[in-house]
Amino acid sequence: MNTKNLLVLARRDHAEGMRVAAGLTIAGHDVKLVFMDRVVEDSEENAEQVETLELCDIEPVTTVANDDIPEIDDAKLSMWMLEADSVISL
């Protein structure tokens, strides 16, 4: 099986973005997760998904200023998009 370099953009639904990113690691793919649009909401659902990300060794980043999650700029995001085999936008 070929390992893919995948980029998940969690724009509208952060929890679903986390679920999808974690699920893609089951097949052994390299996955990056980027939160977009707004700060990730502090909810029980998101907290559960963060635990799943930790188990999958996914360290999410964001394009929105946030004290808890590392921020990336447009240039870095563009580079990741170019390097990815597939970009999944949710």
CA dist., res. 48 & res. 59, Å (int): 15
Which pLDDT score is estimated for 39?
Answer: 93
Distances (CA, A) of 37 to 10, 54, 71, 87: 8, 22, 13, 17
Which pLDDT score is estimated for 47?
Answer: 93
2 — pLDDT class (breaks 50, 70, 90)? confident
pLDDT in tens, 21-80: 999 999 899 999 999 999 999 999 999 999 999 999 999 999 999 878 999 999 999 999
**Could you tell me how many residues make up the chain?**
90
* pTM assigned to the model: 0.93
Residue ranges of domains in the chain, CATH in brackets: 5-89 (3.40.50.1100)
Would you give the end-to-end CA distance of the chain in angstroms?
A: 25
Which pLDDT score is estimated for 50?
Answer: 94
Residues contacting 63, CB < 8 A, separation 6+: 34, 35, 36, 71, 72, 73, 74, 77
1 — pLDDT class (breaks 50, 70, 90)? low
